[in-house]
A and B are shown apart, each in its own frame.
Chain A
Amino acid sequence: MSGVLSIIVVEADRDRALQIVDSLRLAGDFDIQVIAEPTSLARQIQARQPDVVLIDIENPSRDILEELALASGPMDRPVAMFVDRTEEGLSTAAIEAGISAYVVDGMKPDRLKPVLDAAIARFRMFQRMRTELAETKKALEERKVIDRAKGMIMKARGVGEDEAYALLRRTAMDQNKRMADVAQALVTAAGLLS
């Protein structure tokens, strides 16, 4: 196990894969390959014989890699999920960042650390982006439904925009509910009655 460390990144999203590869390249000189296709993942990995496999923890195909941990034939390379007992925390950090690493048994932690550090940093960023995206989407949807409810109140009661908004807000406060929920209830009810 000397020479350049070979790494396989399992990632279907091309942009994410490129970003991971870029961060790994900054961390050192590695031989990096990307597998995008989950089909016959185990066989693809066995054929390429990497030292390290990195995979998103959210990827359901991860279970396929567990088979590699069981490979015992003379031609198979033993692979284990990376559980570092020496440096408590590195694998916990990896799991919290949303990444799993499979490594060839017996690899020294100091060879692996730069790889994992770079991957962890990148995956943390992905996780932040995922949360931000979800939050933004939710906020946008809520604004849309509030606008719709506002329009319905304006039409039904013949009031202006500000007054309709104020009414919506007051109702939400009185009922101890979020404005988006009150608006959604109104839109749903109107849909049922029309």
Chain B
Amino acid sequence: MRGVSIPVGFMPLVDAAPLIVAQEMGFAAEEGLTLALRKAPSWSSLRDMLSFGQVDAAHMLSPVPVATALGLGGAGMPLSVLSVLSVNGNVIGVSAPLADALRAMGHDFAFGDAEAAGQALIGAAASRLRIGVPFPFSMHAELLYYWLTALGLPAPQNVDIRTVPPPLMADAIRAGEIDAFCVGEPWGSIAVDQGHGALLLPGKAIWSFAPEKVLAVRSDWAGAEAGLSGRLIRAVWRASRWLARPESRALTAELLARSDYLNIPAEVIDRALTGMLTISPGGVLRSVPDFVEFHKGAAGFPWRSQGSWIAMQLASRTGLDRSRAKAAGAEVFRSDLYRAALKETEADLPGASAKLEGANAQAQEVASQSGTLILPRDRFFDGRFFDPAEDF
């Protein structure tokens, strides 16, 4: 069965897995869909391909649809988030000279303590830190701003955050254009393998439940093609459930490694999937359980409060009206469409559509359709949290 073909854009990253698996493992076909997957050369190209209709759905950085709703960046068509494709999955790395300086100061590269690592990084910087991120509107940039500002280094005012496309991150650090980076896997591991840097921290050490990539569509498409968008949500949800099985991992790495997709050795991709990262060219290993999450703890659920959190961060940096931004961000994350699409499936969905962001010190049971849904630990490293009901 071929069914309806939907052109879908993606960037060659580990967290494009739910879309690739949906197509390759037949979950799209079960819904009568063929995902015509198109690899994009850059995030701005992918956003434009989506805005101008070259693709109908896209693997997208979670802040991009929110930024578009707030009129920031290359203004385009309004976008809607149908589901969250992945939670966490970024790494922060430093150049070889900076890694040496950190070691000389006695930093242990324990790879879990965001406060210790951040203080060490700020202390080791000889001059104004230059940090590479893949895109101005990205969870990478948001995590860095949050982390450094909380540690007393106001960002972006007192650091240079520079845009470096992920495949060029290793080159930029080797050339000495940046001192550190925050990037999605496998690109951090590739910088390590090429001997140009060391990994300092997984993104989840800063925020343990950060919505990283989303499934984005044009809002008018979501309205006109309610049937198709529902089928797409279900196909991706089943793909994420398959991804959550440990026995799927080896095949996932092989699928993603193909030249049509990431075109990178399966072994390097496997590191993100297992959470067993090589953090230095010398081969030091660190284990990060649930380094990237596709499914567990309702990972795919597009919480209205996630959209609000992102909007609030963008608004406070750009001087936009905060309460208006909060509402606009919430509207972008379409928990209503997600709920409607998964109503008749085995998916257990939370009763609420917004939550406190960063307020779960440990996994917690919440009210759901079957009453058994467990939300995982969701914590900012400094213990603050975001209440979407609060007035700003």
Contact = CB atoms under 8 A, between A and B. Distances in A.
Interface in A52-71: 57-67, 69-70
Contact of A70 (B44, B52, B136): B136
A42 B161 CA distance: 12
Contact of A63 (B51, B72, B135, B177): B135
Interface string A59-94: 111111111011000000000110100000001100
A85 to B, nearest CB: 9
Give the interface size class of chain B: 20 to 34
Contacts of B53: 92
A38 B168 contact: yes
Nearest to A82: B74
B74 A63 contact: no
A131 to B, nearest CB: 15
A61 B165 contact: yes
B44 A81 contact: yes
Contacts of A80: 74-75
B76 interface: yes
Interface residues of A, number: 25
Nearest to A40: B177
A64 B165 contact: yes
B49 interface: yes
For the complex, would chain B's binding face be called helix, strand, loop or mixed by DSSP majority? Answer: loop
B73 interface: yes
A62 B74 contact: no
Interface in B70-127: 72-76
Given A60-B41, A95-B54, A66 B163 contact: yes
Which of B44, B49, B51: most chain A CB closer than 10 A?
Answer: B44
Contacts of B177: 39-40
Interface string B29-47: 0000000000001111100
A83 B76 contact: yes
Contacts of B52: 91-92, 95
B134 interface: yes
Contact of B74 (A57, A64, A69, A96): A69
Contacts of B48: 57, 81, 95, 100
A57 B54 CA distance: 13
Contact of B165 (A57, A63, A69, A83): A63
Contacts of B366: none
A38 B43 CA distance: 17
Given A59-B42, A66-B73, A80-B74, A96 B165 contact: no
A64 B73 contact: no
B167 A60 contact: yes
A58 B45 CA distance: 8
Interface string B147-179: 000000000000000111101100000010100
Nearest to B137: A66
Nearest to A85: B75
Contacts of A64: 162-165
Interface string B268-293: 00000000000000000000000000
Which of A60, A61, A65, A83: most chain B CB closer than 10 A?
Answer: A60
A62 B162 CA distance: 13
B75 A63 contact: no
Nearest to B164: A64
B318 to A, nearest CB: 8
Given A39-B175, A57-B45, A61-B165, A83 B135 contact: no
A60 B168 contact: yes
Nearest to B76: A83
5 contacts: A61-B42, A63-B134, A63-B165, A91-B52, A95-B54
Interface of A: 38-40, 42, 57-67, 69-70, 80-81, 83, 91-92, 95-96, 100
Q: Which 5 A-B pairs have the closest CB atoms?
A: A81-B74, A60-B165, A63-B42, A62-B42, A58-B41
